[in-house]
Structure 1
Amino acid sequence: MTDVETPDGLGSRGARFWTATLEAYELSDSETPLLLEACRTLDNLDALAQAVADHGAMTVGSMGQPVVNPALTEARGQRIVLHRLLAALALPDEDGEAIPTGAQQRGKASAAKRWAGHTSERALKAVGK
């Protein structure tokens, strides 16, 4: 285990992710800023979750009407940012695979749909048809 210096300004979740990531992986100079932004995003998500916990999922709008807490909308955006940052880092998961990007996931789903029901000639020969 190496001694990893945590950047100033990170909250507890961001600092834990920073330390755990740098202890597990050796990042390039171009990947380190991505990691820092991912850590900040994790901290932002924690702050937004706390805002929802403090004020509830609904709040009062400008005309007195109930509206969804803006922290929920912002949290959704922060989750998207986090996914993109982690995909850009391409850190492997437990199986050694990198987190797929949204485009990769859509492409895989599209290919599966396109080829659903098709059987290759090789597969047919294997079963004797």
Structure 2
Amino acid sequence: MAATAPRGLEAKGKRLWKDTTSNYELRADELDTLEDICREADLIVRLEAELDGAELITTGSQGQDVANPMVSEIRQHRATKKALWASLKLPDEGTAGNQQRAAAQTRWAQTRGKVS
């Protein structure tokens, strides 16, 4: 059963939360990381909306052409989101690693009387 999404998540974050918690049983620390991922995803959507239609090249403090700072900001948040996903170490769907994780979760549940 999927864990309840944290308050304040927007559409993209809620979708990521639901998709991930529906497919994986996560520990409390992993849920914290997933929440951070979802919040980063929502922030990236908001930043991209700000950049949409804006000039990609702006004028710097010395009158020179510079990249719009939003481009760099979005790149940094995407890198953060990617690093957070990597830290979860979730196996790809259908891989042996996923089967091993499922087996481990079943053993864990059986030892705690959660599954018969």
Tell me the TM-score range normalised by the shorter chain. 0.7 to 0.9
CA offsets 1:71-104 (integer angstroms, 9 cap, x no match):
1101111111111100111112235378xxxxxx
1:37 is matched with 36
- Give the ranges of 4+ consecutive aligned residues of structure 1 lying more than 4 Å apart after TM superposition: none
User: Is 1:13 the equivalent of 2:24?
Assistant: no
| 3-state DSSP of counterpart to 1:59 | strand
1:25 is matched with 24
Deviation at 1:59, TM superposition (A): 2.4
Deviates more, 1:32-41 or 1:51-60: 51-60
CA offsets 1:19-44 (integer angstroms, 9 cap, x no match):
11011100001111100000111111
Deviation at 1:9, TM superposition (A): 1.3
Q: Report sequence identity in percent.
A: 35
What is the aligned length? 97
- Classify 1:56/1:93 alpha carbon distance in 2 versus 1 (closer, same or farther; 3 Å): farther
Q: TM-score, normalised by structure 1?
A: 0.66
Deviation at 1:65, TM superposition (A): 3.5
| 3-state DSSP of counterpart to 1:8 | coil
Distance 2:2 2:76 in 1: 33
One-letter amino acid of the structure 1 residue matched with residue 59 of structure 2 = V
One-letter amino acid of the structure 1 residue matched with residue 32 of structure 2 = P
Aligned Cα RMSD in Å? 1.9
Distance 1:9 1:59 in 2: 33
Gaps of 5+ in 2: 98-116
**Do the aligned partners of 2:2 and 2:21 also contact (CA within 8 Å) in 1?**
no
Which structure ranks higher in relative contact order (CA pairs < 8 Å, sequence separation ≥ 6)? 2
Gaps of 5+ in 1: 99-129
